[in-house]
Structure 1
Amino acid sequence: MLDNKRILLIISGGIAAYKSLDLIRQLRKAGAWVTPVMTGSAREFVTPLSVSALAEEKVYQDLFDLTDEAEMGHIELSRSADLIVVAPATANLMAKMAQGLADDLASTLLLATDTQVLVAPAMNVRMWDHPATQRNIATLRADGVSFVGPNEGEMACGEFGPGRMSEPHEIVSAIQAEFEEGPLTGRRILVTSGPTHEPIDPVRYIANRSSGAQGTAIARALTALGAEVVFVTGPADAARPDRARIVEVETAQEMLEAVEGVMPVDAAVFAAAVADWRVDGASDSKIKKQAGALPTLGFKENPDILATVSQLKQGRPDLVVGFAAETDDVIAHATAKRDRKGCDWIVANDVSPETGIMGGSENAVTLISDEGAESWPRMGKDAVAEELAARIAKALAE
């Protein structure tokens, strides 16, 4: 459980603040100590007296409280906790976190801390979907901030969609996961994901049909087992995994540089659909259409990231896993790829259009290793990821 874990709970303004009372109750029941911090707007929804009574602790509210600064300054308060939880986390507070603003006690604590932060977003669906909010979320995830939720459902405003704060029991489970040690605790694992975009000109590019969903699922499964995951992703549609360090790239060359920059790692999983070729001499300005005249494009081979890492003489990961998306003779082509690249495992799948796998929610893979080819039943991508993560944990333990 959470015996004697010290949780600094920041409650920001929003109708979901009422859930923070039950969250405090459940955390105390699980054995945690809760130090509450409330923003000014949070006090419009729940009272400091209610929060203090349930936490059995003083509520901190004012950045310039001289008594608190003398007894426990905001720096000490931010670093004395085992985990900082922001629930609810409004769009405004997340924007402050992403931009490094510190104009009240809550935002100052979040900027001054070196403690892990878990946020439970809560806001209107339009605010959640807004590009500014999504940019801020991407920044926070890249900074290592963990997320739980939001859930999808009916809002207090009457609209429906993502933005509901996770239920208190879900947040407690996420908090417990932050403290649990798994079989991959202490292991650092690289995961690449998504497509790469190779520019033709400033408005056109070459890409692969990859959503990045399988890569995200793998990263989440590995972090759930305790691994420190570095997630290098191209411009994928899939959400970025929580509790991973996110590195965003666009081209194959950028992905290679990012991969080299995060080495060494214990294991590397190359789930990205990297473009094999790029345009030789991409145009700096838009290529104009001319009647009766077709542009001539020359191509160059992109760097082979999987082979580069697999064949390292020094600093090679203990386990290198590649992916092979094929449309015919899947096992034969994937086996040849494994031999050619020099990786330890290849996860092969049939991405023929009739399978619905490319961009879908399910996958059917064959794991190719020294032991031969092992075909798994078709299942959801999360289930594939969990099975692969378990195999990786077992291999690294041997």
Structure 2
Amino acid sequence: MRIVLGVGGGIAAYKVASLLRLFTEAGHYVTVIPTEAATRFVGTATWEALSGNPVSNSVFDDVHQVNHVRLGHEADLVVIAPATADLLAKAAAGLAGDLLTNTLLMARGPVLFAPAMHTEMWQHPATQANVETLRSRGAAVLEPATGRLTGTDSGPGRLPEPEAIFEAAMALVQGRSDYQLPLAGRIVTISAGGTREPLDPVRFLGNRSSGKQGVALAVAARNAGATVRLLAAHMDVAPPAGVEVVRVDTALQLRDAALDAAAGSDVVIMSAAVADFRPAEVSDTKIKKRDGAGDPMIALVRNPDILHELVERRNAAGRAGRQLIVGFAAETGDDDGDVLAHAEAKLQRKGCDLLVVNHVGTDRVFGQDTNSVVILARSGAEPQEAAGTKADVAAAIVARIGLELERVSPRP
């Protein structure tokens, strides 16, 4: 596929190098057209090296090839990233002052804009009118992500992650109607990994969670267009790029972080393995094994039920139906019932909207690269099974979340 990648003059241009890499590694032929301002942020040498093609922003280069006409005609897809306020305005007005805007006028295939600018610029009535104009003409304009901008500012206007733009571009070319991405504009909080409850300065009570499934969920939510906050307990894997990371160690720290993050989230996914109990007392010094001394007795106290508390606070705030809460249950069968029986009972106790159920055991789920889950819904919908790599399972869970959100809290 022939792709024209137009690069606007914003600081987010540096992230577009990763988007270019995604296109080329997928086997597409990419011609990069930066604006003159864009070359002040990332030079043409970078675009040429990554694309393998010459780069120009002038209609007067290679005039014999009539590039200002040819590139738009030949393109199977045009992607503009970052689409600055200036570029959106020029595209909406039909201006043609350089090679990129000429190409936009000549393009007859799908066109995707990925905006990035300061919040006030994005929310300005002029920009919003330009976006509506472009959409009314059939162009796809993504919602910008919400997060850290230039300097200390934060808000809507952040360039979506390259993976999210890539997924939207591929969906657009394939004629699917989901190019806006199922979680575009949503804020998602995800907990991952296992908590550790200290016993003394060197020992703790923990669990076998590696954090792989939580990280896969963060990647899937990010790629679905969400702004993601990852509450990371102990993990054997690094957090993904493009998400905000909040580090926690204990269940009590996770509780505080989750309650704080949930207040501004559309979705909360509690995939972390949280210790049910913690030592009643934590020794200031290492507990030593001494000859002639008795074995230490360790008293445990119950940790708070974070998932249940999140549901109670949401309901008390009148956000039931507007915030989706997803729990995870790592279960084993016993004499009182099988895995699904225990999970159904937990779903009713917790009151969350969805419960993702793992059948755990030795060499199953924890630390593995594959997973098999059943998704239960409080609404009474049929259980949904998902299996494969943890990335596959995460994609299925995020897709289900997208459907649930459109059902209970559709975007205007």
**TM-score, scaled to structure 1:** 0.61
Checking the alignment, whether the CA contact within 8 Å between 2:194 and 2:209 is kept in structure 1 is yes
Most deviating of 286-295 and 333-342: 286-295
- 1:2, 1:176 within 8 Å by CA — same for their partners in 2? no
| 2:375 is the alignment partner of 1:367 | yes
Counterpart residue number, 1:240: 239
Whether the aligned pair in 1 keeps the contact of 2:370 and 2:389 (CA below 8 Å) is: yes
Q: How many residues align?
A: 291
Aligned partners of 1:32 and 1:183: how far apart in 2?
Answer: 29
Compare CA radii of gyration and give the structure with the larger one: 2
The aligned residue for residue 33 of structure 1 is 35
The reply on whether 1:221 has 2:220 as its aligned counterpart is yes
Conserved? CA contact 1:27–1:33, under 8 Å: no
Are 1:192 and 1:269, in contact at CA under 8 Å, matched by a contact in 2?
A: yes
Counterpart CA distance in 2 for 1:326 and 1:174 is 34
Give CA deviations for 1:138-176 in whole Å, capped at 9, x if unaligned: xxxxxxxx688xxxxxxxxxxxxxxxxxxxxxx994896
Instruction: Report the secondary structure of 1:353's partner residue.
Output: coil
Counterpart in the other structure of 2:252 = 253
Tell me whether 1:318 sits opposite 2:323 in the alignment: yes
Offset, 1:241: 2.4
1:341 equivalent in structure 2: 350
Q: Which amino acid aligns with 2:342?
A: H
TM-score by length of 2: 0.59
Alignment of 1:157-196 (within 5 A): 173=166, 181-196=180-195
Paired residue secondary structure (1:364): strand
Q: 1:332 to 1:224 in 2, by over 3 A?
A: same
- Whole-angstrom distance in 1 between the partners of 2:200 and 2:387: 39
Of all paired residues, the percent bearing the same amino acid is 31
Task: Report the Cα offset of residue 30 of structure 1.
Answer: 5.4
Change (3 A) 1:308 1:377: closer
Whichever residue aligns with residue 221 of structure 2, its letter is L
Q: Which runs of 5+ in 1 are unaligned?
A: 12-18, 58-77, 85-108, 119-145, 149-170
Quick check: 2:181–2:225 contact (8 Å CA) kept in 1? yes
User: In the TM superposition, what is the alpha-carbon distance from 1:224 to its structure 2 partner?
Assistant: 1.3
Q: Indicate whether 1:382 and 2:384 are aligned.
A: no
Contact residue 184 and residue 226 of structure 1 kept, 8 A: yes
How far off its partner does 1:393 sit? 0.5
1:28–1:377 CA distance, 2 compared to 1 (3 A): closer
Q: Which runs of 4+ in 1 moved over 6 A?
A: 45-48, 78-81, 109-115, 174-177
Q: Is the 8 A contact 1:2 1:32 kept in 2?
A: no
Q: Deviations over 1:341-382 (max 9, x none)?
A: 11122111111215x322111111111123256252531111
Distance in 2 (alpha carbons) for counterparts of 1:111 and 1:255: 28
Which runs of no fewer than 5 residues in structure 2 stay unpaired? 16-20, 59-83, 88-114, 118-148, 173-178, 408-412
Matched, 1:54 2:92: no
Decide whether the 8 Å contact of 1:231 with 1:247 is kept in 2: yes
Secondary structure of the 2:231 match is strand
In the other structure, the counterpart of 1:92 is none
Change (3 A) 1:47 1:222: closer
Q: Measured at CA, do residues 280 and 239 of structure 1 come closer, stay the same or move farther in structure 2, by a change above 3 Å?
A: same
Is the 8 Å Cα contact of residues 268 and 326 (structure 2) preserved in structure 1?
yes
Distance 1:38 1:327 in 2: 54
What amino acid does structure 2 have at the position aligned with 1:275? A
2:279 aligned residue: 279
**Residue number in structure 1 paired with 2:299:** 298
| 8 Å contact from structure 1 (residues 323, 348) kept in 2 | yes
* Residues in 2 aligned to 1:187 and 1:39: alpha-carbon distance in whole angstroms: 30
1:245 positional shift = 1.3
Q: Secondary structure at the match of 1:378?
A: strand
Map of 1:89 onto structure 2? none
Write the letter of the residue equivalent to 1:205.
Answer: F
Amino acid across the alignment from 2:285: S
Question: Counterpart of 2:250 in structure 1: which amino acid?
Answer: T
Instruction: Quote the residue 1:353 is aligned against.
Output: 362
Equivalent AA in structure 2 for residue 235 of structure 1 = H
How much does 1:320 deviate?
1.2
